């Protein structure tokens, strides 16, 4: 067995802004077509935040939905971990803004930047505090407004992303038959140049030059990212399963990061998992970065695809490169 953590997910909720942008809408502003986008990515539509709506707003709405569903008050939350690469601002942390909007007066928290693996990283981080016995209710949120950093002259990237947020509640597990069984996270920094935003940090602070050179947008080498994601997601998933004495046949559901349907299907084929055991909602949301996995869990719950005790695999690859996977027994 691996690194069992005595923490379990006891609640999940998501929120996407109401404005829907279809591939046909993008045809009007970008040199692309619905057929081109669908066949290469699997995306049909995505949600866009309006001007002035930031990651903290989306994250707060997801958290409110979760708390309402659980019948909890915000002051019962002890910790908030927010995964995002589109914080409202460099500081204060988005977690601070969400804490204030929720009125979570007894919570501390911070942001975590892991790109598309961010939610997995935040989940395993929050779970450590629960598993250590120091916290009983931890809110883990993935929230991104990717449209704020998209270059609409780059048709290869701007069609991929949408805006959204998802949240889960972590609480102590009471038996070995529930909760997080194990996790595996890693990075390969040599791939950072293939998916990044060049400016906005201390290396290239915002200036007239960085704006003119369009350095405040997502830059991606699509083929390199695709190859790495397919290979590494399958490798890490197999390592995690083998380490815990189970196989892909034992999985009830795989919730992968929703970056590209072809990446999901290629990873799925290598694992030998049937379509019925893979959560796919990229067609409706696009790539919402840190929000894709909690939104996937939300859909799985609403579609009644999870039962008590089911073995579930969460897995993602993101910029960095970052990779993360969590194996858990569902106990919602």
Q: Which residues are catalytic?
A: 116, 257, 287
Measured CA to CA, the distance from residue 143 to residue 114 in angstroms comes to 12
Per-residue exposure over 269-296, b if at least 16 CB sit within 10 Å of its own CB, e if not: ebbebeeebbbbbbebbbbbbbbbbbbb
Which residues are paired to 183 by β-bridges?
326
H-helix segments, the chain: 23-27, 34-41, 55-70, 94-102, 118-131, 155-158, 208-212, 222-243, 261-271, 282-285, 292-302
Measured CA to CA, the distance from residue 107 to residue 79 in angstroms comes to 5
Measured CA to CA, the distance from residue 148 to residue 79 in angstroms comes to 27
Residues in the chain: 332
Decide the pairing of beta strands 253-256 and 311-318. parallel
* 64 in Cβ contact with 102 (< 8 Å): yes
Measured CA to CA, the distance from residue 187 to residue 314 in angstroms comes to 17
The CA radius of gyration of the chain, in Å to the nearest whole number, is: 19
Which helix (H) or strand (E) is 187 found in, with range?
A: strand 179-187
């Amino acid at each position: 067995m691996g690194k069992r953590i005595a923490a379990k997910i006891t609640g999940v909720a998501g929120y996407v802004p109401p404005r829907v942008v279809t591939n046909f809408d993008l045809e009007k502003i970008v040199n692309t077509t619905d057929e081109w986008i669908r066949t290469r990515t699997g995306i049909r539509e995505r949600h866009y935040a309006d001007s002035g709506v930031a990651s903290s707003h989306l994250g707060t709405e997801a958290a409110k939905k979760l708390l309402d569903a659980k019948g909890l008050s915000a002051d019962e939350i002890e910790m908030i971990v927010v995964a995002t690469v589109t914080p409202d601002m460099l500081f204060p942390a988005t977690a601070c803004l969400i804490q204030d909007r929720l009125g979570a007066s007894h919570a501390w928290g911070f942001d975590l930047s892991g790109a598309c693996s961010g939610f997995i990283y935040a989940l395993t981080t929050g779970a450590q505090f629960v598993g250590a016995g120091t916290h009983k209710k931890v809110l883990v949120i993935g929230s991104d407004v990717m449209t704020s950093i998209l270059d609409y002259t780059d048709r290869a990237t701007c069609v991929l992303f949408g805006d959204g947020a998802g949240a889960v509640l972590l609480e102590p597990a009471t038996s070995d038959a529930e909760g997080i069984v194990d996790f595996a996270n890693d990075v390969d920094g040599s791939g950072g140049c293939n998916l990044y935003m060049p400016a906005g940090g201390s290396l290239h602070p915002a200036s007239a030059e960085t704006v003119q050179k369009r350095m405040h947008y997502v830059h991606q080498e699509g083929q390199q990212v695709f190859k790495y994601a397919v290979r590494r997601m399958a490798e890490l998933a197999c390592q995690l399963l083998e380490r815990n004495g189970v196989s892909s046949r034992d999985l009830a559901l795989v919730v992968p990061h929703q970056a590209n349907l072809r990446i999901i299907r290629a990873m799925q084929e290598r694992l030998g998992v049937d379509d019925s055991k893979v959560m796919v909602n990229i067609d409706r949301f696009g790539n919402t970065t840190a929000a894709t996995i909690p939104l996937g869990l939300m859909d799985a719950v609403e579609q009644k695809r999870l039962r008590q005790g089911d073995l579930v695999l969460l897995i993602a690859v993101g910029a960095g490169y970052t990779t993360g996977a969590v194996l858990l027994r569902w106990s919602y």
